[in-house]
Amino acid sequence: MILTALKNSVLDLWEEMFYALVFNIIWVVGTVLIIPWPFVTFGLFFTVYDVGQGKGIKLSTFFRHARRNLKPAYIWGGINLAIFVVLGTNIRFYEGLAQSGAQWAVYVRLVMIGLTVLWLVLQLIALALYPRLDQPDFKLALRNAAILIARYPTSMFTLAILTGLIILISAIFPALSFLAAAAFIAMMTNRIVEAMVARELKRQEQEER
């Protein structure tokens, strides 16, 4: 499943290379500015979903999706900003305690880092699920993302590792981060979620027989 999803995401990137580069640059700029971050993130993930469905896209597709989902985008962004602030503050607090000699703080800090990584993966899955919902809703997207993570932990672990590698490579080669990293992560996540959702639907059909 993972190999097929990766192959399809690479094909998506290749076929829509120009728009992927443009949308990635827009996403990076919007994220740096912070306020447009939810707007450009939803625009990216909804557009990537269209690519995965074989639909034709244009520059206006990105902004049309972002405008249509303005409210759920900023609900998602507000909640995530608050959680990232809390997690980041805790990580720095326990790091300070560890440096002052409190050994137990080292383990608490590791737990906080683990929770941060888990939350990031959960949000990637939720973002890929939003375009698949009849009514975009944070609780529903989060619930479905948690179910997929519980049912397919290996796939989620692989997604986390691959995303981490892309981020690491982007840190070494900043141009990659500016040109394609976010777009490819979105495409990869979309294809992995697509495969998991297809399996879930097939499993439900078999149970109903």
Q: What is the pLDDT along the chain (209 residues), one digit of tens a residue?
A: 778 888 889 899 999 999 999 999 999 999 999 899 999 999 999 999 999 998 989 999 999 999 999 999 999 999 999 999 999 999 999 888 888 878 888 899 999 999 999 999 999 999 999 999 988 899 999 999 999 999 999 888 899 999 999 999 988 888 888 889 999 999 999 999 999 998 888 887 777 66
* pLDDT value for 209: 66
Short-list 180, 45, 64, 46, CA closest to 124: 45
* pLDDT value for 206: 77
* pLDDT value for 199: 87
* pLDDT value for 74: 97
Domain that holds residue 93: 2-208
Chain position carrying tokens 């971050």:
37
What are the DSSP E strand ranges found in the chain? Answer: none
The percent of the chain in helix, strand and coil, each rounded to the nearest 5, is 90, 0, 10
Short-list 139, 120, 135, 132, CA closest to 196: 132
- Give the Cα separation of 193 and 187 in Å (integer): 10
**If 0-12 CB within 10 Å is exposed, 13-18 middle and 19+ buried, where does residue 132 land?**
middle
* Domain count across the chain: 1
Identify how many contiguous H helices and E strands the chain contains and give both numbers: 10, 0
134 secondary structure, DSSP code: S
Would you say 94 and 115 are in contact if contact means Cβ atoms under 8 Å apart? no
